[in-house]
Chain A
Amino acid sequence: METLAQFLVNGFALGGVYALLSLGFGVIYNTVRIFHVLHGAVFITAGYITWVFVEHTGLPLYAAGIIGVAGATGAGMLIELGVYRPLRKKAAGFLTAFLASLAGMFFIEGFLVAVSSTDLKVLKQGPLSVFHLGDVVIAYFHIIIIVVVVLLFTAVTLFLRSTQWGRMIRAVASNPELALSVGINSNQVFLMVFALGSSLAGIAGIFRAYDVGLEPVVGLQLAIIASIGVIIGGIGSLPGAALGGLTLGLAQTLVAFLLSGQWSQPVAIIIMLAFIVFRPYGLLGTREHKELRRLL
């Protein structure tokens, strides 16, 4: 019983980070229809910026964290302006955008290795402070992660449901031509979507950097995790994306408990393949989703 509770706490902490990342990826994918591999670079940028400020200027963690999230948001908007928008203007296909994004991801990974080596960059000093609940050891930080993720998910849902910007984003996501005909500037909406998705990725990046630390290769790995979360949650569904990320976190933690940590990456992929074969519309998606019909 204690081990189950312990596993749930750790799984929700990891799954919370994944949920944020998948949510950001899902917001972008559902609206812009771009497989945003550079999402991983945005994620890692936030952690590295925060680490640099904490390590070299002695700024308190929360201030450095705010700069980190702002940096991630800016990076995401820059990627839209500098990479995807010019490609859209040239009517380049999705493969071109994907390969440009993948190349950018490798470039940034190489850059980080070159300037800062492959060391793990960890924000926290010493072990996490914990409290005991019966036999279960709970880190305060994991509680913070879970609370923040719930709050952010609610905020994003409310934003998309009941603000002017949110309605515009959903309009472009469901029918770009119709949205254009009622005078919505899709370029502005896309920029907004990238800002939103990238800030979510940035927060996830800082959580990760504080909890287990960041190294350059994590960027591509977590971009893949984010996309798998969107797939198993159901394309087109944001609650699904968050749930998908959470499921991956729980599954990886379970496997790490039962077998060993090195199987955590394969298990995410096995889950994805199982979903693609048996339930391609994911946990909360619908069979009739337009995008999905194109892909299967």
Chain B
Amino acid sequence: MDYFLHLVVLGTIYSILAVSLNISVGYTGLLTLAHAAFYGVGAYAVGILTVEYNVNFFFALLLAMPAAGVVAAMVSPILRLKGHFFILGTVAVQLMLTQVLFNWISLTKGPFGIPGVPSPVIFGLKLNTPPTFLLLSVPVMIIVVLLAARLVNSPFGRVLKTIRANPSVAESIGINVDLYRLRVFVITAMMAGVAGGLYASYTRYVHPSAFDVVFSTFILIMVILGGTGRWMGSVLGVVGLITIQESVRFIPALPANMVGPVQIMAYSGVLFAVMMLRPQGLIGAYKLE
């Protein structure tokens, strides 16, 4: 039961990631493979602030948002790129940030990671088990998902859909496309930062390898599986992917050291099949470009 609840906690954190990535992939047409990097910045912000500087968790979580947002703004020149170049630019950002986490040892402790991130405390209740942590992660997830739904159904969201459908048309009716892209990039990075902060305090340990390009792809698969451009789809995608990942554990006679690689094979196989058969995802609104 605790293991199931553990998966539910991860599901809430992944939902924040997938819903935010869907705003940029599904609504604005910015396919990025750097989402895990901003997730990592959020996690490290909370890890460093709470462990090194004894900052209160909730204050650190608030600071994780601008931290991820500032990093996103710093790398935003890649938004000038289009098509393959943009994707490659985001991969570049992702690999760079992973390297920074590994090599900026005075700040991040590099490959040792940061252990002992304190559990959040609400009214004297220590949230250090899956059921108690749900008291925090479920409300945060609901807030983020509602914000995302509000965002994409607002005039702002309609502008994004116009940009996705045709940037030139958007430009011709006086929309500052570059500015909107920058806003989406920064806002979604901030949401990923929140997810990272939750993750750090839940696992109580941050390590660079949790925020690599493989995990970025993992988030993207959740979005695409659930369908681009539907905000509830992303939550379904999270459920689907966790189910796929966990059912690998029940394959009989699979040695323990094979579970990880077979999981990677399973979800990349699913992405491959979806791309070949139904590129808009299972219930997607748009066909990918």
Residues of A participating in the B interface, judged by any CB pair closer than 8 Å = 35, 83, 86-87, 92-96, 98-100, 102-107, 109-111, 113-114, 117, 220, 224, 227-228, 231, 262-263, 265-266, 269-270, 272-273, 276-277, 294-296
5 contacts between A and B (CB under 8 A): A86-B276, A105-B268, A106-B271, A114-B258, A272-B88
**Residue in B closest to A273 when the chains form the complex, CB atoms:** B92
Given the known A-B contacts A87-B276, A93-B289, A106-B264, are A262 and B91 also in contact in the complex, defined by CB atoms under 8 Å? no
Interchain CB contact under 8 A, A266 and B95: yes
Whether B88 contacts A224 by the Cβ 8 Å rule is yes
Given A102-B217, A273-B78, CB of A265 within 8 Å of CB of B272? no
A228 to B279, CA, bound (A): 27
A95 in contact with B95 (CB, 8 Å): no
Given A93-B289, A113-B261, A269-B95 contact (CB < 8 Å): yes
Q: Number of residues in B with C-beta < 8 Å to the partner?
A: 44
Chain A proximity of B164: nearest CB distance (Å): 12
Apart from A98-B84, A103-B272, A270-B96, what 17 extra A-B contacts exist at CB < 8 Å? A83-B276, A93-B279, A99-B288, A110-B263, A110-B264, A110-B265, A110-B268, A114-B261, A114-B265, A224-B88, A224-B92, A227-B88, A262-B103, A273-B78, A273-B92, A295-B81, A295-B82
B19 at the interface (CB under 8 A from A): no
* B213 partner residues in chain A, CB cutoff 8 A: 220
CB distance from A106 to the nearest CB of B (A): 4
Within 8 Å of chain A (Cβ to Cβ): is B214?
A: yes
Q: Which chain B residues lie closer than 8 Å to A92 at the CB level?
A: 275, 279, 288
B80 partner residues in chain A, CB cutoff 8 A: 276-277, 296
* B88 and A109 within 8 A (CB): no
A109–B214 alpha-carbon span in the complex (Å): 11
Which residues of chain A have C-beta atoms less than 8 A from B257's C-beta? 117
A231 to B214, CA, bound (A): 23
Return the CB mask of B82-101 against A: 1 if under 8 Å, else 0. 11110111011001100110
4 nearest interchain CB pairs? A110-B264, A106-B268, A93-B289, A103-B271
- How distant is the Cα of A276 from the Cα of B77 in the complex, in angstroms? 9
Q: How many Cβ-Cβ contacts under 8 Å join chain A to chain B?
A: 124
CB pair A262–B92 under 8 Å, yes or no, is no
**Distance between Cα atoms of A35 and B85 in the complex (Å):** 9
Partner of A272, one of B31, B87, B92, B217: B92
A277 touches B288 (CB 8 A): no
Please give the distance in Å from A99's CB to the nearest CB on chain B: 5
Taken together as a complex, chains A and B put the C-alpha atoms of A137 and B213 apart, in Å, by: 37
A273 to B217 Cα, complex, angstroms: 21
Residue from A113, A114, A262 within 8 A of B99 (CB atoms): A262
Contacts of B275 in A (CB 8 A): 87, 92, 96, 99-100, 103
Alpha-carbon distance between A212 and B135 when the two chains are bound, in angstroms: 51
Q: Is B287 at the interface (CB under 8 A from chain A)?
A: yes
B102 contacts across to A, CB distance below 8 A: 262
B198-248 with Cβ < 8 A to chain A: 213-214, 217, 220-221, 224
Chain A neighbourhood of B220, CB < 8 A:
99
User: Taking A224-B91, A295-B85, A296-B82 as contacts, is the C-beta distance between A96 and B279 under 8 angstroms?
Assistant: yes
Question: Which residue, of A35, A92, A104, A269, has the highest number of chain B Cβ atoms within 10 A?
Answer: A269
List chain B residues, Cβ under 8 A from A35.
84, 87-88
Distance of A134 Cα from B65 Cα, bound (Å): 57
CB of A114 within 8 A of CB of B262, answer: yes
Contact of B81 among A103, A263, A276 (CB under 8 A): A276
**Quick one: closest A residue to B212, CB to CB?**
A217
B82–A266 touching, CB < 8 Å: no
CB of A100 within 8 A of CB of B272, answer yes
Which chain B residues border A117 with CB–CB below 8 Å?
257
* Residues of B close to A96: CB separation below 8 A: 275, 279, 288-289
CB-based contact A107/B265 at 8 Å: yes
Q: Give the residue of B92, B262, B276 whose beta carbon is less than 8 angstroms from that of A110.
A: B262
Question: In the complex where A92-B279, A96-B279 touch, is A263 in contact with B103 (Cβ < 8 A)?
Answer: yes
Would A93 and B288 count as touching, CB distance under 8 A?
yes
Q: In this assembly, does B269 line the interface, its C-beta being within 8 Å of a C-beta of chain A? A: yes
Query: How far is B83's CA from A265's CA once the two chains are assembled, in angstroms?
Result: 23
Chain A residues with CB under 8 Å of B258's CB are: 114
Considering the complex, give the chain A residue whose CB is closest to the CB of B280: A96
- Docked Cα-Cα span, A83 to B276, in Å, equals 8
Q: Which residues of chain A come closer than 8 Å to B83, judged between CB atoms?
A: 94, 294-295
Q: Which of B78, B84, B258 gathers the greatest number of chain A CB atoms within 10 Å?
A: B84
* Least CB distance, B17 to chain A, in whole angstroms: 18
The answer to whether A110 touches B99 (Cβ under 8 A) is no
Contact of A269 among B87, B92, B214, B224 (CB under 8 A): B92
Closest A residue, CB atoms, query B271: A103
Considering only residues 83-125 of chain B, those with a C-beta below 8 Å from chain A are: 83-85, 87-89, 91-92, 95-96, 99-100, 102-103
CA distance A109 to B221 in the complex (A): 17
The one of A102, A277, A294 in contact with B82, judged by C-beta atoms closer than 8 angstroms, is A294
Q: Quick one: given A93-B288, A96-B288, A224-B95, are A231 and B276 in contact (CB under 8 Å)?
A: no
